Amino acid sequence: MTKRELKNIVSIAILLAAVLAYFGMRCLPHQKNSSSLNNGLVFVSRAIDGDTIKLSNGGYVRFIGIDTPESRYNKKIVRDSKRSGSDIKSIIRMGIEASDFTRRKVQGKMVRLEFDVEKRDKYGRLLAYVYLEDGTFLNAKIIEEGYAQVMTIPPNVKYAGYFLKLQKEAREKNKGLWETGIDKSLF
């Protein structure tokens, strides 16, 4: 191989590398709210209720490991009322409190999602552990403040023991759902 041929091969290789680099960079996400550009953070457009949020991309996230009371009349609230002996009005009041708590924490803000084994439920919602920008573990905080009961659905059990500990403490302190006079078998 002559020097000229070697020079041509090197020139072609450099040109090819430049073209690949150019097109490779164009494939990277450049949107302002892109997860990769925000250290894994996603924008919450609104809180649907105490344990479900809607992201700016239109997707829904169901918090893993917790169940907050319903904030609207539906079939589940009727079942919960029959099972617990609590009246529907009280359940809705507690559901609204849980929804308001979640809304204050996340609506219009960035959160980080952590996934477990199953990533979607039967309704197509993402299943996630949700963290606020300051690192607060929101699923845990909702239980700790008494706005939710633990709901463990295998195989997503990563924090089940921790959640049960927080629920026990909230019950002992009569926080939220567990306040004195409220039926402790709401769900």
Active-site positions? 62, 70, 125
Q: Is 163 helix (H, G, I), strand (E, B) or coil?
A: helix
**Beta-strand (E) ranges in the chain?**
41-49, 52-55, 60-63, 66-67, 110-114, 126-132, 149-150
Q: Which residues of 75-101 are buried (b: 16+ CB within 10 A; e: fewer)?
A: eebeebbeebebeeebbbebbbbbbeb
What's the alpha-carbon Rg for the chain, to the nearest Å?
24
